[in-house]
Structure 1
Amino acid sequence: MFPNEYKTSCFLKNVVKAPNIVIGDYTYYDDDKKPTDFERNNILFNYPEFGDRLIIGKFCAIASGTKFIMGPANHRTGSVTTYPFHVFGGAWEERTPAHLSQLPFKGDIVIGNDVWIGRESVILPGVHIGDGSVIGAYSVVTRDVPPYSVAGGNPAQLIKKRFNEDLIRTLLQLKWWDFEPEKLLDFLPLLCDLDLDKAEQRLRQELLRPAAR
């Protein structure tokens, strides 16, 4: 559950239980208070019966205070009023359609692999964040973020691509996050090397090997 001695980082796959939430191996949430309460405190308005999901890939780093807003947080906007009369019961409930049935359905929130989400960021319903992306602290992500991009702000905007298109293409094809543990261990020095030209060359060589196809 806790990958370090400080117990501030928590592997989320081991603590999140909701049936509509899927979290990959080694993805962690960091919080100096109680990171194991991620499902209760950071995934808001989650009602599985609504039909949307939160899918987070492997090796993601999620900073303290990040919130994922699920679809039922919305109100209907196509009528004269957005007020949710139905949820308050009584005569109001009798005279209005079921609340969830009128909400806009934005789809699943999908976070790729190796994504870093900065402190206090908010991810809205239906957003897809691509593999290898970085979300700046205190961002509000309202639209999709392409793979290996840096985005930030409120609303979050694309700031830059992290790498050149050739390296991005190579990484997306190689999918290092799916390596077996022993192979990943051998690749760790390369994955952390600041010499991107060398990394790109070695990764391309690995991609061309028959076993990597």
Structure 2
Amino acid sequence: MQDGRPVVAIVDDDVSIREALEPLLRLSGWRVEAFACAGAFLEWAAPDGPGCVLLDMSLPDLNGLDLQIRIADERPQMPIIFLTGFGDVPTTVRAMKAGAVEFLTKPFEDHVLLAAVERAIERSRAIVAERAGLRELRARYELLSRREREVMHLIVAGLLNKQVGGELGISEITVKAHRGRLMEKMKAASFAELVKMSEKLGLGTSA
């Protein structure tokens, strides 16, 4: 059976840090994966579910800030908590601006780390839920016929049914019929909700 617990990935070349953090995190209920370098972490097939990364700033093969860019691009569902033996203001600011949850200087208290992990996991859950919702929304949009998509694009652009009919060369009654079907397929309870869906899908005003 697949382990559905959130996963905390430790990426640190210091074996003593990995050995200290693994039992602490497991006792707190998290699933733990540990890596001694960035390369090993990047080769790991990360789960799609919630998780976070405890990332050492100084790795033997890749700078922590550079790895942060890779993670944001390839594994956006895994927020980062930086761990470092030294902390300078410019590096901290850069890491936080790039989306890091926390920047902890070693040594740190267990409760401080665990609180940061809790925050990171909560952020990860929100990201995972948002991505799942977008996938479902795209699947609904794929169910629309070409004409229904044309009508949707025009009405969310602000055109009235009569104007949509003029643009497409169909009657207002036909526009209303298409509108009703597309609202049902998209599961939109209101026009305002349909507009929000359109924005999430990144749709323009043309089909």
TM-score tier after normalising by the smaller chain length: under 0.3
Higher RCO (CA-CA < 8 Å; seq separation 6+)? 2
In our comparison, the structure showing a higher alpha carbon Rg is: 2
Scaled by the length of structure 1, the TM-score of the pair is 0.24
Q: Which has the higher helix share?
A: 2
TM-score (norm 2): 0.24
